[in-house]
Amino acid sequence: MEIIPAIDIIDGKCVRLIQGNYSQCKIYSEDPVSMAKKFEASGLKRLHVVDLEGAKSSRVVNMRVLEQICKSTGLTVDFGGGIKSDGDLRDVFNAGAALACIGSMAQTRVEKVLEWIDLYGGEKIIIGVDSWNTKVCIQGWKKVTGTTIFELIDRYKERIKYLMCTDITRDGTLEGTAVNLYADLRKRYPLLNLIASGGIGGMEDLERLAHLGLYGAIVGKAIYENKITFAELRGRF
């Protein structure tokens, strides 16, 4: 299982939220590039970068940070937050991202996202499903839709390779991951490479996800709060 550290960006800084609440924002580093280098030096290969300002404002805000991370490291970077247009997506790839994570647009502009998948390939586009009690959330988690995550995934399951699902109720809480949800998703969509996100608080959570056969797990606050150390991760997955 791939361990994928997360760098969430507001105002050019590395931050974490609790359950997507922008008023509960904690700064962990003034320099996301240095943080990315630290992840790479620890032996990690992947990185999940989220432009939180972009997700909230529906436009990419922190493109320069993405460019600097990609130029300064050899990490395989996926980027999400504020990608709304053909130009946005092109710029993300030109900045050096290996994959783009599409969230709100996957719900609101299905035909456009399918067009992007056809253009760039299913291996370059991650469908990012943000779940609040299995209902899809959009616009930086500010709006809960009436669509279930399963209805959304069904629109794309034949065309994509990667699916990222965030349980917002657990995100940033360190209270444990939504094992039952991911077990259900694995059963429903066995051919998709499933990436879990939200609530991971220790190595036991990662062990549970690995046991389910997940492709990857996003780890954010647990690393920043030293609930999971690089030494513990080394050689485990």
pLDDT tens readout for residues 99-108: 999 999 999 9
Helical packing angle, 86-94 and 63-72, nearest 10°: 30
Please enumerate in sequence order all residues whose Cβ is within 8 A of that of 237, keeping only pairs 6 or more positions apart, or say none: 1, 2, 3, 206, 210
**Residue 132 forms beta bridges with which residues?**
135
Task: Name the token pair of 234.
Answer: 């080394």
Residue 227 clears pLDDT 80, i.e. is over it: yes
CATH number of 2-233: 3.20.20.70
Task: Report the candidate in 225, 180, 172 with the shortest Cα–Cα distance to residue 197.
Answer: 172
How far apart (Å, rounded) are the C-alpha atoms in residues 201 and 213?
19
pLDDT tens readout for residues 157-205: 999 999 999 999 888 889 999 999 999 999 999 999 999 999 999 999 9
Residue 140 clears pLDDT 90, i.e. is over it: no
Helix (H) or strand (E) holding 181: helix 179-188
CA angle 61, 63, 67 (to 5 degrees): 165
pLDDT tens readout for residues 69-92: 999 999 999 999 999 999 999 999
* Mean pLDDT of all residues belonging to the chain: 95
Q: Can you list the positions of beta strands (E) in the chain?
A: 2-10, 13-18, 21-29, 46-51, 76-80, 99-102, 125-132, 135-138, 143-148, 162-167, 193-197, 216-219
DSSP 8-state secondary structure symbol assigned to residue 19: T
Lowest mean pLDDT across 10-19, 106-115, 145-154? 10-19
Residue 57's pLDDT is what?
Answer: 87
Confidence category of residue 18, pLDDT binned at 50, 70, 90: confident
Residues annotated as part of the active site: 8, 130
Domain locations along the chain: 2-233
Residue 177's pLDDT is what?
Answer: 95
